[in-house]
Structure 1
Amino acid sequence: MTNNRRHIAALVIVLILLCCAQVVKAEPYETILNNGLPNKRVDIVIIGDAYTAAQMDKYKADARNFVNALFSQEPFREYQSYFNVHRVDVVSNTSACDDRAANTQSDTTLDCVRHSEINPAGLVVQSRLLTVDDIIAQSVLDASGSPFQQDLRVVLVNTPDYGGSESRGFAVSYVSTFSGDWEVALHEIGHAYGRLADEYFDRGVCGSTLPPDRLNVTNSLVNIPWAVWISPLTPLPTTTTARGVPGAYEGALYCPTGFYRPTYESKMRSLNKPFEQINGEL
């Protein structure tokens, strides 16, 4: 191949890549809670998906309700003055997510997906897994030209179908039709910001690997990350069901045995429970 042909071929490839690349435009944003300079505060950024232009007022109300719910619970209530909150207004063409089982495609900016499945009997099994394309979400935030930091990124998905996830630091949550039900969002924030592992049991996910960056689970009764909170009189493993008693309770990381959690029942194990003092400090 001659040099001219190589140059032409390279140019064609570049043009194809440019044509196929998704164009991300800057979106408007608003600071809805300002407690100080970003370099001295924790900055929460809220971004929405599956909200159409006609639903922007709903999105703004949902964001405000979420913020109120967040700071109504510990440890966020105690440390509210150390947080800033910003809302990025993203408009989607549709208000429905892709559905894997139904094989339906929608047109939302962050490409939200409902990961439902069809079981061997041919019935649709609703999954709790709700995701967005975190690469697109990050591109939208970066393109917004916002001067604030992105210490915690929260995605509110305009769907009544229960679900959420955490991916690459994004806490993703559905928006409940029941006012005040933000427990999934708060649980996912435990993952995204607190770097907390799940403490509940899920037979299909239980494994043997201990994630090194999640300090609220351990497979050892000797080297416990939260040992400083445990009274010398507390037996290990711990069996009490009393609320908030620090110990090493067997059952965590989707497994009924082999892993231990700090308290009997925190928000990382069951919704509508507090984070508890250890998970709130780790």
Structure 2
Amino acid sequence: MFRFFPRLLAAASLVAAGLAQAAQPATVRVDYTHSGNALSDSYALEQVLVEPLPWPGDTTRNLDNTNRGQNRVEVADAKTGDLLYSRDFSTIFGEWRTTDEATKISRGFSESVRFPKPDRPVRVRILKRDERNAFSVAWSVEIDTDAPDVVRKQPAAPATPIPIRVSGPSPQKVDLLVLGDGYTQADMKKFETDARRLAAHLFTVSPFKERADDFNVWALAVLTLESGVSRPSTGVHHASKLGTRYDIFGSERYVLTLDNRALREIAQYAPYEFIEILVNNETYGGGGIFGQFSTAAASNEWADYLFVHEFGHHFAGLADEYYTSPVAYAASSTRMEPWEPNATALRDPANLKWAKHVKAGTPLPTPWPKAEYEEYSRAYQKRRAALRAANRPESEMNALFREDLARTKALFAKQPYRQMIGAFEGANYEVKGYYRPAMQCIMFDRSEAFCPVCQDGITDIIDLYAGVKQR
């Protein structure tokens, strides 16, 4: 039935090798509903279960000190209050509540948190950032992972993981799972090729390149009956177990799955801490949610860039540094200092969060050809919208993207601060009030490299999961 069956035994043994560690605890997952609107939200417990595979992480690094994301999960001893585990993350609900729709209706989203199985009852707390940008408790529930209603038996795996890169035991490595959606039985070889190609590209980009040996990569796809995923704006609707699709929140290029339960029930059969979903589509698109997953259109000419850029969101909580493309989110009326490591409101230039990278004498804000860039970008965005509205071939969109990147590089090439780190106004989808560290970066446009500030943000997360390496 499954494409991977001939390699089942070999793959299973490699998964076991990846997980090998004495007395590694089981993996607990708590599924809950997060519902509300732009003004309020609430939580409700769905289920507690023990996943089929042991905890993939190092239990000596259970506490997260990176201060990223909109939310944090804390797992504490129910009696003593001692903190046992924490991780920062963001949610799809958190993005949706900034859309216009959230001002009109309420919606519910399934979410999950995972942690190593404790040997005692615990209190699981979900925290969110408050008006001071500090974390405060939004929801708390006491959980006994040995209670009778905890789900302990799972169905058979829907497919077998493919080991793409196995660098060592999972607890000492970052485990990345590449999921496929929109791949039929006939597409399974293509999925493996796509997964290997894009994972290999990730490790040509710094700092992933230098830390490649700190990663394991697995791949897994559940078959679909039709190639590709849904693109509702063009009348294309395809069924899949993951439910990934384009047009999320009305943005034609935004690709996510809103079915968290389905995602977790498939992903649980491979070791993972991070997930990238490849959709078997040519149309440009992707998305990334910090601590949840990222997506990329595997057959697009810009798939290498999409894979890395969206993984930057998911893996390290990096902000988008572009600001002239249309997005689904409403602009904020305030300029709170962003939690993302690569964006700032520059309220206190003397204490810039990436000051260590700024050379003495660099002006803050830092001059760049902003007006000229915006004038060209407005014309470019009109052309881009017209191509999509006319449903023109993807080759024309790819050509426009190449032209845009070449134009930007030419504009920036002779600028005095081109290679400098400073504070360049225009970031986080905002024309004014937010600043990015570099004139150009993967998080700004379709260029090839992360700036040093983004590299630091990524390295912090690698260190959290795989241990600190000599820098």
Q: 1:215 aligned to 341, 349, 352, which one?
A: 341
Of 353, 366, 371, the match for 1:225: 353
Deviates more, 1:201-210 or 1:226-235: 201-210
Deviation at 1:89, TM superposition (A): 3.0
Maintained 8 Å contact 1:206/1:255: no
Find the aligned partners of 2:360 and 2:163 in 1 and give their Cα distance: 47
Compute the displacement of 1:117 (Å): 10
User: Which residue of the partner structure matches residue 61 of structure 1?
Assistant: 193
Matches within 5 A, 1:131-146: 131-135=256-260, 136-142=262-268, 144=269, 146=270
Shift of 1:54: 1.2
SS at match of 2:422: coil
Alignment pair present for 1:174 and 2:275: no
List per-residue Cα deviations over 1:55-97 (Å, max 9, x = no partner). Answer: 1000000001001111111111111111111112321122132
* Alignment pair present for 1:42 and 2:174: yes
From 285, 307, 316, the equivalent of 1:163 is 285
Q: 1:50 to 1:98 in 2, by over 3 A?
A: same
Deviation at 1:210, TM superposition (A): 4.4
Give 2:253's aligned residue: 128
Q: Does 1:263 pair with 2:391? A: no
Paired residue type of 2:448: K
Q: 1:192 matched to which residue of 2?
A: 314
User: 1:137-190 CA distances to partner (integer Å, 9 max, x unpaired)?
Assistant: 122111x2x3x2x22211000011110011352110101254x74101111011
The answer to whether the aligner puts 1:154 opposite 2:279 as a matched pair is no
Question: Unaligned stretches of 5+ in structure 2?
Answer: 1-153, 369-414, 458-471
Q: 1:272 to 1:83 in 2, by over 3 A?
A: same
The verdict on how the C-alpha distance between 1:257 and 1:58 changes in structure 2, with shifts beyond 3 A counting, is same
Q: In 2, are the aligned partners of 1:25 and 1:140 still within 8 Å (CA)? A: no
SS in structure 2 at match of 1:63 = helix
From 75, 80, 85, the equivalent of 2:207 is 75
CA distance in structure 2 between the aligned counterparts of 1:32 and 1:111, rounded to whole angstroms: 24
* Aligned residue in 2 for 1:17: none
Question: Cα distance 1:40–1:219, how it changes in 2: closer, same or farther (>3 A)?
Answer: same
Aligned pairs (5 A) from 1:230-249: 230-240=358-368, 241=415, 242-249=417-424
Comparing both structures, which one devotes a greater share of its residues to helix? 2
One-letter amino acid of the counterpart of residue 141, structure 1: A
Compute the displacement of 1:278 (Å). 1.2
The answer to whether residue 226 in structure 2 is matched with residue 111 in structure 1 is no
Distance 1:163 1:231, change over 3 A: same
Instruction: Tell me by how many angstroms 1:212 deviates.
Output: 4.5
Contact kept in structure 1, 2:357 and 2:452, CA below 8 Å = no
More displaced 10-residue stretch of structure 1: 165-174 or 79-88: 165-174
What's the secondary structure of 2:434's corresponding residue?
A: strand
State how far apart, in whole Å, the 1-side matches of 2:367 and 2:359 are. 14
The answer to whether the Cα contact below 8 Å between 2:341 and 2:453 also exists between their aligned partners in 1 is no
Change (3 A) 1:227 1:86: same
1:252 alignment partner in structure 2: 427
Which residues of structure 1 form unaligned runs of 5+? 1-22, 119-125
Q: Sequence identity, in percent? A: 28
1:24–1:140 contact (8 Å) kept in structure 2: no
Q: Secondary structure at the match of 2:277?
A: strand
Deviation of 1:116 after TM superposition, in Å, equals: 8.3
Shift of residue 39, structure 1, vs aligned partner: 1.2
2:64 corresponds to which residue?
Answer: none
Give CA-to-partner distance per residue, 1:96-154, whole Å, 9 cap, x none: 32222234421122112121899xxxxxxx82112223512122111x2x3x2x22211
Kindly provide the amino acid, as one letter, of the partner of residue 249 in structure 1: F
3-state SS of paired residue (2:191)? helix
Cα distance in 1, alignment partners of residues 208 and 448 from structure 2: 14
Q: Give the 3-state SS of the residue equivalent to 1:183 in structure 2.
A: helix
Alignment CA distance shift 1:215-1:155 (3 Å):
same
For the residues of structure 2 that align with 1:37 and 1:262, how far apart are their CA atoms?
Answer: 36
Deviates further, 159-168 or 197-206: 197-206
- Displacement of 1:213 in angstroms is 3.2
Residues 217 and 246 of structure 1: CA distance in aligned 2, closer, same or farther (over 3 Å): same
Deviates more, 1:255-264 or 1:240-249: 240-249
User: Would the alpha carbon gap of residues 227 and 163 (structure 1) be closer, same or farther in structure 2, given more than 3 Å must change?
Assistant: same
Cα distance change on mapping 1:139 and 1:253 into 2, 3 Å: same
